[in-house]
Structure 1
């Protein structure tokens, strides 16, 4: 009886700890987004306004500032190393070893924040995932009675922070259970492992704690970050007629994402172990693209809101050029040292292309966004179900069949195997 009571008490304590860990993951994600937005506002709104008042032409600011960012990022990596590791690497390490080393959490946090502050076309998920996985491992190591459950703590921490980062609980639940083996990184498609009931409850508690912290802090202090959500969609005969062509259009952008990634990796190999030169080259390309098409910069959260409010003022050519160029810019950033994730920018690229398609065809814009974004993301991820779970963060659940069909079309587009290697 005493052993049974002790086991029950241990289980209850583990449950409390998972909720607390989830809440911390959500609060950390919110704080990261909040700090990022404050820095971007200072560097890209207030500072340019002050410089323009002194007579500096606004058009030169993106190029000059991205070059400066390249120098700072390159020097940081030369001193501290290539941090943060990408989300796939973090998840794979947690899945195979049950832990994630926490000796370089400060470098991971700083390395994730710097490229975002300087306008990098990358997402924040890499740094957030690594920091939370490392902290969960640290908690398990320090609390002796929890050492046998370090693996579970690390995995539920990853599930919590992924859910909070993307505001997509189903993707946050499925991604760590699946690995997450992104085939765009050269890995075989993963399968979702169904956990024991007790482990599933731990995941759900952590995710609830993470989302609760994000919502609570957002309501008290303002939204920390994340992409906006489209709540309505119209699906008629005209939309269905355009479904496959638009999915193929998005998949073409995904094919370009893979191809440009292969080219950038070749350039990085030629540059060798020269982190400053690589980061400055990426900054120059990013800044030049930003001068011509400003929406090719940044992760895409605020830019999606801006585009949703102004897309009718742009030509179809400008919108599509923005989307196709953005996937190239993202690969340049990632391949030349501006470390981060690719999910946010490719979703924004799909949205920009979708708005361009809506201008051309006159169909419901949200349907166009669903088809092009799912086609692009499906081509990149190579996993239609995971693509749909991720895109629920942006699109309504009733668009599920559009998302699944377009993602399947994108995943079926053949991509040379050499392009998938990292």
Structure 2
């Protein structure tokens, strides 16, 4: 096979794998949204029960705990997946079904978590499977796991630059490592871009044909005046401290999970009770946050500043509770929603431009959690326009320089900027993903 033809085939495979990642992401979001629509919209309307979140989350805890007890702690976190891919150039695909179902169940039952953890592992495994069957074409056709992670992260977040940066960085928190694919760096960028184009093309195409999909809304009406400039530092500090609360609560709740030992059902039920009670009091404290952000965009003026600010803080705590108690998933979507809610709260409180408040609050909170301002800005480009980059970068930098104990910082580096998708205490007996 000539070099040119070989390179063309290589790029075509990258596009196809990206499209596969985008299609599977769309299917995941479709199943998630369909299940949530039935369980959380149609049934409550038929029953008319204001207390609905508590029993559903309680049942969800039983189901999630039983699943973990039977199949192990799946899915792995996004950075655990990336670490395995970086170490071995592959991701084992023997538990793809468990990862897919394990990622879907907590979302269906209202978990305040994101879908990125399960999807990253599933796509990395599928790409490894494809690479194993293309070995006859040469060594460079074997190592596709990183290409798949770039594609799926781009599809999940609708943020191609973040998707490109994550595998390049080696983790979601921006640790700098080299690409692993055995081709020159310029060509690696081309391969990653092809996979991202394929993923976003499949997501957009399926969404246009059948509807559905995922992602957060765009906030494009940013106004930057004197009042807004005066509020930048105070808002960033307050929301940055909320990001530190995420770290602190993870340590506390993780310690409780460690004390409870290897009892996945008990932990998941306890997490479900906390989630259900929060959902009864503050409904927006549940779910990943995509659809809730769209609803909040239309209704925030009717809720009041106190409710909006309290929702953001409770969302942070509930997310850590879910993650530590076995409701496995990602942390990006719910924390972005927490920043959006707090941003609307401060807009109601101060009268400043809402989009400015959203931009600053979300960037500062995520900056404090991720500890990587540039990665934070690349992620938040899915929500905010290019003209807000300087504001986001300033707010994320303020959040990221707020001090944390060194042990927390080390853990944040390992797990994507937070004690994230697994329990906050690494000594917990049943929080490490089982390898059956």
Contact 2:131/2:143, CA 8 A, preserved across alignment: no
Specify which of 153, 177, 189 is matched with residue 200 of structure 1: 189
Match of 2:433 in 1: none
Q: Which runs of 5+ in 2 are unaligned?
A: 412-425, 427-436
Question: Pairwise CA RMSD of aligned residues?
Answer: 1.3
Q: CA deviation at 1:370?
A: 0.5
CA separation in 2, counterparts of 1:353 and 1:19?
39
Partner of 2:90: helix, strand, or coil?
coil
CA separation in 1, counterparts of 2:332 and 2:387?
22
Q: CA deviation at 1:419?
A: 3.5
Q: CA deviation at 1:267?
A: 0.6
CA separation in 2, counterparts of 1:229 and 1:151?
38
Aligned pair 1:75/2:71, yes or no?
Answer: no
Specify which of 190, 202, 212 is matched with residue 175 of structure 2: 190
Aligned pair 1:131/2:116, yes or no?
Answer: no
Partner of 1:60: helix, strand, or coil?
coil
Q: CA deviation at 1:193?
A: 4.1
Aligned pair 1:298/2:283, yes or no?
Answer: no
Instruction: Write out aligned runs for 1:16-415 (5 A).
Output: 16-52=12-48, 58-146=49-137, 148-149=139-140, 152-180=143-171, 182=173, 190-191=175-176, 193=178, 196-415=185-404
Runs of 4+ in 1 over 6 A off after TM superposition: none
Contact 1:99/1:150, CA 8 A, preserved across alignment: no
Q: CA deviation at 1:50?
A: 2.4
Pairs aligned (count): 407
TM-score normalised to structure 2 length? 0.91
CA separation in 2, counterparts of 1:49 and 1:309?
21
CA separation in 1, counterparts of 2:141 and 2:274?
42
Partner of 1:338: helix, strand, or coil?
coil
CA separation in 2, counterparts of 1:161 and 1:122?
17
Pick the structure with more helix per residue.
1
CA separation in 1, counterparts of 2:194 and 2:76?
26
CA separation in 2, counterparts of 1:253 and 1:7?
53
Q: CA deviation at 1:417?
A: 2.8
TM-score normalised to structure 1 length? 0.94
- CA 1:316–1:84 in structure 2 vs 1: closer, same or farther (change >3 Å)? same
Q: Which runs of 5+ in 1 are unaligned?
A: 53-57, 183-188
